[in-house]
Amino acid sequence: MNSSDRGQLKTNILWMAASLLAGGCAVGPDFKAPAPPGGDRYDRTSVTLPAAGVGQPSQNLVSGSAPAAKWWEAFESTPLNETVDLALTGNPTLEAASDSLLAAREALTAAGGARFPQADVSGGVTRENPASARNGTGMTGDLYSVGAAISYGVDLYGATRRRIEQQSAVVDFQRDQSDAAYLALTGNVVSAAIGAAGAEEQFGAIAEIIAVDEHNRQLVQLSADAGKSAGTDVLAAEGQLASDRALLPPIRQQLDVARHALAILVGRSPAEWSPPAFSFANLRLPADLPLSLPSDLVRQRPDIRAAEAQLHAASAAVGVATAQLYPSLTLTGSWTSASAHGSELFDPGSRVWSIAAGITQPLFHGGSLRAGRRAALDTFKTDLALYRSTVLQAFGQVADLLNALQHDAEALEAQQAALEASRASLELAQRSFEAGQTSFLQILELQRLYQQARLAVARARAARYVDTALFFIAVGGDSWRMH
C-alpha cells in the first residue's frame, strides 16, 4: 500500500467515525424544565398596600413587572449607589463566584474535547542489549524511534454528549450561583445602609425623648423651689432622664455593627474605610414595587435557576450512567519509524503503520454499572424534590414580604396615631402640673407611653425600608445577570 492509499484510508476512517457520531443515539432522559406554576397570586387573598399615615409615602404594587437592573437606585441615594459600586468591585465573595464560573467554563471546554480525535506524537531512544550481544554474537546499540498515534472513541450511545450536557448544566449552575452572590451582595449592602439609617432614626427619637425628660426635670425643679413639689419628684425626674440616656449605647452599637458590615462588604477592614452617613433624609422609600407573576419568578430568581441547572446536570448524569451499560467503539491508528541510526530514522524501510477498530461490551462488573445508574436516578429524584422545595420557599418569601409591606404600613399609621395621642396627653399633663392640678407620677406614666410610641414610630418606619429591600431581593430579576 503506497502513501496515497494509506492517506485515503485514514481519511475514510475519520469520515466513518464522524458519521457514527452523528448517527448515534443518546440514551437516557432528554431534560425538560419543570412546568412553571400557574396563577397570578402568591397568597390566597389579594394584597394591597394601604396608606401609612399623614406625611408618610405610599407604595404601589406594579403587577407583571420585573425589577430594574440596578434595583437599589429606586432608593434615590447617591451615597448608597456609590457604596454598592464599591462592593461590586471589591467584594472577595463575588470575585470567588466569578472565578468558579470561569473554572466551570474551562471544564466544559475540556469535556468538549472528547468529541474530536485524540492525536499524540512520541519519540525516544533506547539502549538495547539483545540476546545475541549477551552470547557474544552481537553488539549492544541504540534504537531511535519517532511516531504518531490517533484514537477516536465513537459516541455510539451518547456518553460523550451527555457528559458535555452535564458540564454545560454545571456552567449554568455556577452562573446562577454567581448571580445569586451578586444579588445577595447588593441586598446586604442596602440592608446594612438601611440598618445604619434606622439607628440614626432611633437616635433622633431618643434625643426627642431626652429633651422631654429635661423639660420635665426643669418643671419639677421649679415646682420644688416654690415649695409645691417634694424632693422625691426631682429625684424621679432625674432618674427618668438617666434611664432614657441609657438607651443610647445599644443604638450606638447597632450603628457600629452596620458601619463595620458595610466596610467588609466593600472588601475593606473597618479600620481602612468608613461608610458615608446614611439616614432616611437621603434614602427615599420606593413608591412603585415590581411584582412578577409566579410563572416569571422561576425564571428570575437565581436560586431557582440554579436548582433547575442542578436538576439538568443530574438528568445528564443518568444518560452517562446508562450509556456505560452499552458497547463502546474505539478507532485507532498509528505510524512509527524506528532505526538503529538516527540518520536512517525517516527512511521508507523504517516505517510501520497500523489501523484498528475495537469494540468493548460490558460483561461483568459486579453490578457496579447498574448500581451507578440507579444511584444517578435517585440523585435526579433528590434534585427534583430540592427544586420543588426551592420554588415553594421562594413563593413563600414573596407572600411573606407582601404581607409584611401591608402590615408595615398599617403599623406605622397606628403608631403615629398613638404617638400623637401620647404627645398631646403629655403636654396637657405638663400644663396641669404647672398649674398644680396633677401629680408628677401621672407625668412619668404619660412620658413612658410617649417614649414607647416615639421609638415604635422610628422602628416601624425603618421596617418599611427593610422589607422593601427584602422584597426587591425576593422577586429576583433576570436583568441582574452579570454574564
Highest-scoring range by mean pLDDT, 140-154, 297-311, 468-482: 297-311
Q: Does 422 have pLDDT greater than 70? A: yes
What is the reported pLDDT for 111? Answer: 84
Q: Where in the chain are the domains?
A: 26-117+156-327+367-480
**pLDDT band at 154, cuts 50/70/90?**
confident
The Cα 328–Cα 159 span in angstroms is 9
Q: Between the CA of residue 7 and those of 3, 11, 154, 354, what are the distances in Å?
A: 6, 6, 20, 12
Q: Does 407 have pLDDT greater than 60? A: yes
What is the reported pLDDT for 198? Answer: 92
Highest-scoring range by mean pLDDT, 44-48, 80-84, 230-234: 80-84
Under 8 Å between Cβ of 331 and 152:
yes
Residues 456-471, mean pLDDT to the nearest whole number: 93
What is the reported pLDDT for 340? Answer: 64
More confident residue, 25 or 292: 292
Under 8 Å between Cβ of 245 and 217:
no
More confident residue, 343 or 430: 430
What is the reported pLDDT for 427? Answer: 87
Highest-scoring range by mean pLDDT, 152-156, 160-164, 473-477: 160-164
Instruction: State pLDDT tens for residues 247-261.
Output: 899 999 999 999 999
* Best CA proximity match to 75, nearest among 275, 285, 288: 285
Element (DSSP H or E) covering residue 141: strand 141-154
Residues 430-445, mean pLDDT to the nearest whole number: 79
What is the reported pLDDT for 398? Answer: 92
What is the reported pLDDT for 349? Answer: 63
**pLDDT band at 344, cuts 50/70/90?**
low
More confident residue, 123 or 451: 451
Mean of the per-residue pLDDT values of the chain: 84
Highest-scoring range by mean pLDDT, 235-239, 299-303, 386-390, 415-419: 386-390
What is the reported pLDDT for 347? Answer: 66
What is the reported pLDDT for 12? Answer: 47
C-alpha cell at 12: 475514510
Dihedral sign, Cα of residue 476, residue 290, residue 460, residue 49: negative
* Best CA proximity match to 477, nearest among 63, 34, 39, 68: 68
Q: Does 9 have pLDDT greater than 90? A: no
What is the reported pLDDT for 54? Answer: 82
Under 8 Å between Cβ of 429 and 219:
no
Residues 377-396, mean pLDDT to the nearest whole number: 94
More confident residue, 274 or 108: 274
Q: Is 388 helix (H, G, I), strand (E, B) or coil?
A: helix
Q: Give one word for 466, left, alpha or beta, with left for phi > 0 and alpha for psi -120 to 50.
A: alpha
What is the reported pLDDT for 19? Answer: 47
Residues 106-126, mean pLDDT to the nearest whole number: 82
What's the CATH superfamily of 26-117+156-327+367-480?
Outer membrane efflux proteins (OEP) (1.20.1600.10)
Helix (H), strand (E), coil (C) string for 153-217: EECCCCHHHHHHHHHHHHHHHHHHHHHHHHHHHHHHHHHHHHHHHHHHHHHHHHHHHHHHHHHHH
**pLDDT band at 31, cuts 50/70/90?**
very high
